[in-house]
A and B are shown apart, each in its own frame.
Chain A
C-alpha cells in the first residue's frame, strides 16, 4: 500500500484456482484494486489463457488436479518471462512453499490474507519485488539456519547476510515493509531489495534443506 496507489494504470490479474467459490470471492475482493482479466480452473486452461492474455500477475493455486501450480509455472514461465506469478494456497507446508518458489513464483501468500494485503502483494510482485508471508519468512530462516554440519558450497547463495536475516525476522513477526524500514532505519526500497535477494537465494541455492524440499515433493 505504501507504493503506487496513485498509479492510474490498473494491473491485469489472472486467477488460477480449481475452486469456483474461491475465484469468485477473490474477484469480488480484488475488483476495487486491480483488473481481473480472466480465470481458469485447470492447468490446461490456465496455460493457454495466460499465453493468450499475457497478464501482469497470475494468482496461482498450489494444489490443483493434474499437476497444480507447479505445472502451470513450468509450462508458461520460460515462454512468457514477463508474466509474474504469486502463489496462493491454504497450505503452509514447507515443501509446497519452497517448491513453488523454486519453480519461479515471485512470492507466496496464504489464502487467509486480507484483500488489501493481497492487492499490495500483487502490486509488489508486478514491480518485480518478492512477497513473503510470515510463515515463508520463518521457513527461509529455518532452511538457512547456520548449522555446523551443513556444507556451504557457495557462500553467496547458501548464506543469508545479517541484514537479510533481520528483515526476514521482522517479516516473520508480522511487520509490513513500511514498518520494517522504520525499525531498521532503512528505506522501503532497501527492504524490497533485501527480500528480492533472499528470493534469489531461495531459488538458486543448493542448500540441502532446499533441494530436499524441492525434490521430495512432486506437487499434485
Chain B
C-alpha cells in the first residue's frame, strides 16, 4: 500500500495544520494557490473553513523521521492570509452575497467541524506512538496517564469543546428565529438534520478509521510475537527431548554423540543462520551433506567455511564429491572427527576434507575404491575441476577438491556468513 502516492498533511510547511501545503504537494500546485482557494471559499457559507477542517480531520501527517517534531509554524505568514480572509469576508458581507440564515448556519457548522478537528488531532500519530509505549495493552488509556502532554491535551480538548458547543448553541439559537417564516422552516429543518447527520459522520468516521488502522498494526505486532514464541517453544521442546534421549542412552557412546551433534547442529542453525536457508548456496548445501554424514556414521565433522557461492552444476558436483570424501573418511579412517574446509575465492572454489585416521597407500588400494575413483576424481574432472588425494598409512588422508569458477558470478550478498 506504500506504492500508492498518498495525500498527507505537511506540518513542516504549515500555517495552520499543513493541509494546504500537503494538498499543494500532492496536486503539484503552488502552496499559495491552494491557500488562496481555501480563503476564497470562506464566504460561500464557510465552505473554505469546512473543507479545511474536514481535510485536517482525515489526512494523516506525512511520514518523516521518527520522533522528529514538526517545524515551528511561521507566524508571520499567518498575517497576510488573515488579512486576505477578513477582506474577502468583508467584501462578500458588504455585497450581501454571504448573508442570510443558511450562511450563518454554514459558519456555525464550520466552527463545529473545526472544534472536532482539534479534538481528533489529540490522537495524532506521534502521540499515539507514545501511548503505545506507555500502555501497550490499552494505548488509548495513555493519554490519561501521560504527564507531559496533559496540558496541551486539556487546552485542545477545552478549545475544541468550546468551538463545538458554541456552534451548536448558535444553530439552536438561529434556527427558531427563522422557524417563524412558515414553509421555509420545514426546508431549513431538513437541511439542518442533514448537516447534523453529515457532521456526525464526519466526526465519527476518522475516529473509526484510526481505530481500525491502530488495531491492524497491533495485530501485526502480535503475529510477530507469536511467531517468535512458537520458534522458541519448538527449540525448547527439541532440546529437552534430546537431553532426555541422551540420559536414556547414556551407556551407548555412539548414540549419545550422534544425538548431541544433531542437536548442536540444529541449534546452531537456528541461532546463527539467516531464516529460510536453502540449498541454493554452497554453505547450506555443504552443511546439509555434513549433517547427513554425521547422522549416518555417528562422527563429528568440524566444518569451516569462508565465503559463499550459488550452487550451479559445478558447485553441485563439488558438494557431491565432498560428501563422498566425508563418507569415505567416516567409513574407513577409524576416527571420531573429520575436518572440512571450504573457501570461495574469486576464481575458484575449494573444499578440503581431512582426517587423521589410518590412511592408506594410494598405489595399492586405489583400484578397489570405486568411490574415490568414480564419485570423487571422475566427478570433479567431468565438471572441469580437480581432485587430489593425499594419504599415507598411519598419517591420515586429505582430499583436496578445486573447482574453477568461470566468471565472478555471485560475491555473497551480506558480507560472508561463517559455518
Contacts and interface: CB of A to CB of B under 8 A. Distances in A.
Interface of A: 92-94, 112, 134-135, 137-139, 141-142, 145, 147, 169, 172-175, 209
Given A93-B272, A138-B418, A209-B415, A174 B302 contact: yes
B339 A173 contact: yes
Given A134-B339, A174-B341, A145 B304 contact: no
B307 A145 contact: yes
Nearest to B305: A138
B328 to A, nearest CB: 16
A142 B416 CA distance: 7
B312 to A, nearest CB: 21
Interface of B: 268, 271-272, 300, 302, 304-307, 339, 341, 343, 352, 354, 356, 398, 411, 415-416, 418-419
B341 A172 contact: yes
A148 B356 CA distance: 37
A146 B418 CA distance: 16
Contact of B271 (A93, A139, A169): A93
Nearest to B354: A174
A142 B341 contact: no
Contact of A135 (B354, B416, B418): B418
Given A134-B339, A173-B339, A142 B268 contact: no
Given A93-B272, A134-B304, A139 B418 contact: yes
A138 B419 contact: yes
Contacts of A169: 341, 343
B302 A138 contact: no
Closest 9 CB pairs of A and B: A174-B339, A138-B304, A173-B341, A173-B352, A172-B304, A141-B306, A172-B341, A142-B416, A174-B354
A145 B416 contact: yes
Contacts of B272: 93
Do most interface residues of chain A lie in helix, strand or loop, or is the interface mixed? helix
A209 B417 CA distance: 12
A173 B398 contact: yes
Nearest to B302: A134
Contacts of B339: 134, 173-174
Nearest to B346: A146
Contacts of A137: 304
A174 B354 CA distance: 7
B294 to A, nearest CB: 13
B268 A92 contact: yes
Given A134-B339, A135-B304, A173 B354 contact: yes
A145 B398 CA distance: 25
Contacts of B268: 92
A141 B271 contact: no
A138 B354 contact: no
Contacts of A139: 418
A112 B337 CA distance: 11
Contacts of A147: 411, 415
